[in-house]
Amino acid sequence: RQGFSSWIGVLTPDNEVEIYGDEMKEEKRFDEGDSASNLTVSDADLSYWERAVSAAGAAFTSAIIVNPLDVAKTRLQAQAAGVLYDGVCLAGCSATTTDFIRTPFHSNGQPTCSPDCTRYKGTLDVLCKVVRQEGFSRLWRGTNASLALAIPSVGIYMPLYDIFRNYMEELTLQGAPSVTPYVPIVAGSLARSVACVSCYPVELARTRMQASQHGKVGVKPPGVLETLIGVMSPHSSRGYQSYRSLFTGLGAQLARDVPFSAVCWSSLEPLRRKMLYSMGDESSAAGIITANFSAGFVAGSLAAAATCPLDVARTRRQIEVNP
């Protein structure tokens, strides 16, 4: 098919990649006495489990690295929704709503003012105050939920995206080549929707864990299971409603994730292929990794900026206590 294959393959120092317009070949250098052979490398040759394992491994690594920034983002969005955190003066928050997750008052029943009694002012301010007031490890609050979420969701999302894209590209190239550039948008949206619905309760627990403050020394904060039980408890006497509450905000999550995937993949594929094409026949493993990373960075930034208002709406729905 036209264009570069999106899957580059695993390269070793003994391998040399040659890219010729619409196909990719991997030529392996054999020792003297061995005959050379060419192997066609294509993502279509990868099994579902190979896709799932590689995607889950990437998700595992990224979840650990970016979790502190995710905590900062969630805290800032929760604060704007009216969540009160320790150290925030009551006078500055008297007009906020009471229908969101709240943090406990001090032992005397009233919030006290201290030298650092200010609201979160930005990302760095959140990170500094979390470390000072709750401990360094709290920057990774909700990491267990992120890991529990990342492996199955990305293990579903990325393989399904590859499968949907390959299948639809073959169909469109044969019947309607003019719509082929739009295939990544549709494939990314479909794959993201399936992954989002299948793992949503854990996503809900992660947001609540990151939004809540827990500064008690020697007391372990609630985990994923305890958080989900807490989500169901307000409606425990309403039968089926208790299980439906685990999907509170699913519509907002889909409203954020589907456009995010559409913008991300529609930007990433052309950027990545253009960068790989510009490298010509001299591309190396480092160059290919750089092209993938750069394209992903630009596409992810564009998608995040475009869907940020939807992300704010998603966070507010997920931290709501009173529907």
- How far is Cα 300 from Cα 306, in angstroms, rounded to an integer? 10
- How far is Cα 275 from Cα 53, in angstroms, rounded to an integer? 26
Strands (E), the chain: 15-20, 23-28, 37-40
* pTM, entire model: 0.68
Residues forming a β-bridge with 25: 18, 40
Structure tokens of 34?
């061995």
Per-residue pLDDT tens digits of the chain, which is 323 residues long: 344 444 333 333 344 444 434 444 443 343 444 443 444 445 567 787 887 788 778 888 888 899 999 999 999 999 888 887 765 444 444 444 445 665 544 444 444 555 455 578 889 999 998 888 888 888 988 888 888 877 777 778 888 888 999 999 999 998 888 888 889 889 988 998 998 998 899 899 999 988 887 666 566 777 788 888 888 775 544 444 567 788 888 999 999 998 998 899 889 989 998 998 888 777 788 888 899 899 999 999 999 999 999 999 999 999 987 65
Work out the burial of residue 26: count CB atoms within 10 Å of its CB; fewer than 13 is exposed, 13-18 middle, 19 or more buried.
Answer: middle
Helices marked H in the chain — which ranges?
48-81, 123-134, 143-175, 183-198, 200-211, 224-232, 240-244, 250-279, 285-319
DSSP state of 131: H
Instruction: List strands edge to edge, sheet with 23-28.
Output: 15-20, 23-28, 37-40
SS (HEC) of 105-163: CCCCCCCCCCCCCCCCCCHHHHHHHHHHHHCHHHHHCCHHHHHHHHHHHHHHHHHHHHH
- How far is Cα 289 from Cα 112, in angstroms, rounded to an integer? 51
Direct distance between the N- and C-terminal alpha carbons of the chain, in angstroms, rounded to an integer = 50
Amino acid, single-letter form, for residue 190? L
CA 278 distance to own-chain centroid: 29
DSSP state of 113: P
With beta carbons less than 8 A apart as the criterion, state whether 88 and 111 touch: yes
